[in-house]
Amino acid sequence: MCGRLSQYHGIHDFVDALSMPGALANEVGDQPLAHFNVAPSTNVAVFTPGRARWLRWGWRPHWAHDRAPPINARVEKVAHSPFFRAIWGHRLLVPVDGWFEWVDEGEAKKQPYYIHRRDGLPAFCAGIGQWDVADDDGFVIVTADSVGGMVDIHDRRPVVFAPDLARAWLNPACDKAEAEQMLLNLGEPSEAFAWYRVDKAVGNVRNQGAALLQQLN
């Protein structure tokens, strides 16, 4: 996963798609997010247990301040990695409308593709992070190997859960061993997604707007 996503619906749209029972504290606001080109190290709307909040994309433990904060964690290692030990039990969801990958098609600049769910629902990406700890707050998205046709776009992809599994991932009653098995075995298959070429303007993080998501012929 190259590290760019879109999050343009409002938080209430994401909550409706998630069918989360009970009220969530909303620190994000009620208006459409309108973030069409979201880059790492910026604030992203996420769901933590009982709350919708802004959280910085990228995290590192306090003892690793000599390196840039990773934005992703590999599903094969995250549950047992010393690097992520402090946040492995702190699960969250990153609701996105889609994400971008860049493919080398022999041109001077790589061709960006936009990836989204075929059914039009948001993609609920599994994440872990830290919040309410001042300067050390942040999160990473858990990624897995791509399979099927998605391999041609990128060799890694977010672990995305269907709504019922996304709710289970967010439930504090789900223990760490169960959470690991969910990551390894229950993510949505590549067949659940579609992708298409988009304008190279998305490569500049200053560019925003729905035009970035329009399919190129």
The residues annotated as belonging to the active site are 2, 101
Q: What are phi and psi of 213, to 5 degrees?
A: -100, 0
Q: Which tokens go with 31? A: 């208006």
d(CA 153, CA 148): 10
Work out the angle at residue 195's Cα, subtended by the Cα atoms of residues 193 and 197, and round it to the nearest 5 degrees. 175
Tally the C-alpha atoms within 13 A of residue 193's C-alpha that lie toward its C-beta.
31
Element (H, E) at 13: helix 11-18
Q: Taken in order 9, 146, 211, 141, is the CA torsion positive or negative?
A: positive
Q: Which tokens go with 190? A: 């590549």
Q: Classify 21 as helix, strand or coil.
A: coil
Within 10 Å of residue 51's Cβ, how many Cβ atoms? 15
